[in-house]
């Protein structure tokens, strides 16, 4: 039987963590949930040996990545940017393509600015985007909800952290499954 082509596959997927920075987080709607679910994604991707990339928007003004996330990202590839979209983050899009990545899982802030512009640019460049709706947010709930609708209507797969992790796992009963299951409990 045939599986749906939008289902994530480890060998062609990467995680992109966008601008979860110290100075903006305190004003982000439900920021604690964004951080918690981002950490689950990072740890799950590391368990499954799936590549991770992350960005910081103008760190001189917005500070660095939130400390727990930064620590978890120690092995991830970092890109600094001043553009809102990650298309302007150095060679990020080229690096994704060079690594054979066609499915990009996205999390970060703010959903209606940097995340949305990045998602639209990823889609325009032929990537499938899976947006972790429980790991993105904005300062205002209305902006967050509106951006989710816009990204979805333009082709992004809007889903949640646990769905993403279990799609990548495919099967239960493995060592990876047991480790990832502990993360989501």
Catalytic residue IDs: 19, 81, 114
Contacts of 102 (CB under 8 A, 6+ apart): 12, 126, 127, 128
Q: Are 119 and 7 in contact (CB under 8 A)?
A: no
Q: Helix crossing, 31-47 with 161-169: angle to 10°?
A: 10
Q: What Rg do the C-alpha atoms of the chain give, in angstroms?
A: 15
Q: Are 15 and 52 in contact (CB under 8 A)?
A: yes
User: Judging by beta carbons within 10 Å of its beta carbon (0-12, 13-18, 19+), is residue 107 exposed, middle or buried?
Assistant: buried
Beta bridge partners of 109: 137
H helix and E strand count, the chain: 8, 6
């Amino acid at each position: 039987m045939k599986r749906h082509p939008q289902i994530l596959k480890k060998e062609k997927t990467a995680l992109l963590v966008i601008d979860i920075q110290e100075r903006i987080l305190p004003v982000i709607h439900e920021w604690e949930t964004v951080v918690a679910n981002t950490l689950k994604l990072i740890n799950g991707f590391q368990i499954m040996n799936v590549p991770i990339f992350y960005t910081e928007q103008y760190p001189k003004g917005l500070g660095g990545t939130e400390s727990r996330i930064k620590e978890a990202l120690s092995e991830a590839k970092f890109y600094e940017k001043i553009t809102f979209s990650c298309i302007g983050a150095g060679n990020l899009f080229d690096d994704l393509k060079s690594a054979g990545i066609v499915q990009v899982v996205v999390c970060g802030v703010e959903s209606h600015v940097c995340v949305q512009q990045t998602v639209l640019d990823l889609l325009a460049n032929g990537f499938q985007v899976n947006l972790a709706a429980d790991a993105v947010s904005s300062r205002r709930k209305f902006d967050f909800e509106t951006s989710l609708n816009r990204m979805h209507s333009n082709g992004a797969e809007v889903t949640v952290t646990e769905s993403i992790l279990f799609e990548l796992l495919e099967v239960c009963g493995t060592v990876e499954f047991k480790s990832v299951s502990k993360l989501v409990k």
